Amino acid sequence: FGYAAAGDGGTGGSVTVDQLAALSGTSTLSTPDSVLLAYSQGGHGGSGAVRKGAGRGGDGGPVSLRISAPVMAQGNLAAVWARSIGGNSTNIGVETPALAATTTGGNGGTVLLTLSEGVGVSSDGARAPAAIAESLGGRGGDVGNQGFEYPNVANGGAGGTVAVRDAGALSASGDNATALLAQSV
């Protein structure tokens, strides 16, 4: 019986979506969602049991979403959502915490959202953006229940580059809603 480090998460694949037909959707669910989602996520790292580190989260792949026809969302929906997320590193439970080396979360990939000239993209729900473009780094792991004695906490992954090319017409009419949310975290 030997000790081996846990496996790393796999890399998310490349996602390219060219939307050519009009889309619409309605939702009353409390969980945020979207009419059109283009999404790549790295796999989560494996858990470490003793003496070795947890696996690194995999990187999210590049995502490209081009909107060429109207998209309308009603209720608790964004109209379009392009996202790339790094996988999480997992926590590690250890026999000898000082020997544990946890690893980082995966990095978010590059995200490109393109709205073609004159195309309308709209939402009408409270706090529901018309369009979201985001790249999120995965969460770093930590060492089990050892408290402050062994603070071997790994870094989270980095967010990637996010670009939005908007020649269209974005609108969000719901309470506290923004037309466009672009973020790298």
Q: How many folded domains does the chain comprise?
A: 1
Residue 62 is classified by DSSP as P
Does residue 6 sit within a domain? Answer: no
DSSP class per residue in 107-121:
PP--EEEEE-TT-EE
The CA distance from 184 to 163, in Å, is 10
Does residue 122 sit within a domain? Answer: yes
Tokens 């999120």 sit at which residue? Answer: 136
Does residue 5 sit within a domain? Answer: no
pTM score of the predicted model: 0.87
The CA distance from 123 to 106, in Å, is 31
Can you read off the two tokens belonging to residue 159? 């967010």
Per-residue pLDDT of the chain (185 residues; tens, 9 = 90+): 455 667 889 999 999 999 999 999 999 888 889 999 999 999 988 876 555 667 889 999 999 999 999 999 999 999 999 999 999 988 766 555 554 555 789 999 999 999 999 999 999 999 999 999 999 999 887 766 555 555 556 789 999 999 999 999 999 999 999 999 999 99
Does residue 63 sit within a domain? Answer: yes
Structural domain containing residue 79? 15-25+36-184
Does residue 3 sit within a domain? Answer: no
